Amino acid sequence: MRCARKRNNDASAVAGVRGPAPLSPAAQARQDEVGKRLAPGMTIALNNAALVREAASLCARAHPASAQLYRQAYRDWEDRNGAVVKRAYVLLAKYFPKTPRSEADAIALRSAYDTLGVVNRGVPAQRIKWCAQTGADIANGKIDLINMEQVALMLREKA
């Protein structure tokens, strides 16, 4: 069965299907305020997910003999923090519906590249030393998201 599109200026509107009612100005203001308060936690979660993933990749290339250790540290970090990252995406969609996930991911990836650029430009011995410390920090949970105050605030929000 085909759905006929309404001929109003909303190309996404489908005849017989209504989206959520618009929020009242007061409710929209409250939602905007909550979004602003949660944005730092969402940013930290998404940026750190990209950073850990890219650091594991950089370190695997910098020290191939330890590549499996770095990849495992990343997988373990992802196991411990994946639900928090997913929560950040849910809240992103709720409070910043005009920001597509792909855009948020691109911003996080640029942030990771900016951070790792200094390491990547270093001499091999410095990269290996940085990777050993960072790999240990990832593996032992030192940079787990749940330990970060702004992320904890984000997690308390009901979606």
**Is position 21 within any domain?**
no
**pTM of the predicted model, to two decimals?**
0.77
Inform me whether the pLDDT recorded for 77 exceeds 60: yes
**Is position 11 within any domain?**
no
- Kindly tell me the sign of the dihedral angle through the C-alpha atoms of 114, 146, 70, 72: negative
* Maximum separation of any 2 CA atoms in the chain, in Å: 65
Distance CA 134, CA 31 (A): 37
- Joined tokens for residue 13: 């509107």
**Residues forming a β-bridge with 17:** 14
Inform me whether the pLDDT recorded for 74 exceeds 60: yes
**DSSP summary character for residue 24:** P
Over residues 91-102, the pLDDT tens digits come to 988 888 888 899
**Residues forming a β-bridge with 14:** 5, 17
Write the DSSP assignment of 104-137 as a string of letters: HHHHHHHHHHHHHHHHHHS-HHHHHHHHHHHHHH
**Is position 128 within any domain?**
yes
Inform me whether the pLDDT recorded for 16 exceeds 80: no
**Is position 117 within any domain?**
yes
- Joined tokens for residue 53: 């993933």
**Is position 8 within any domain?**
no
What's the whole-number mean pLDDT along residues 101-108? 92
Domain that holds residue 146: 36-156
The tally of domains found in the chain comes to 1
Inform me whether the pLDDT recorded for 116 exceeds 70: yes
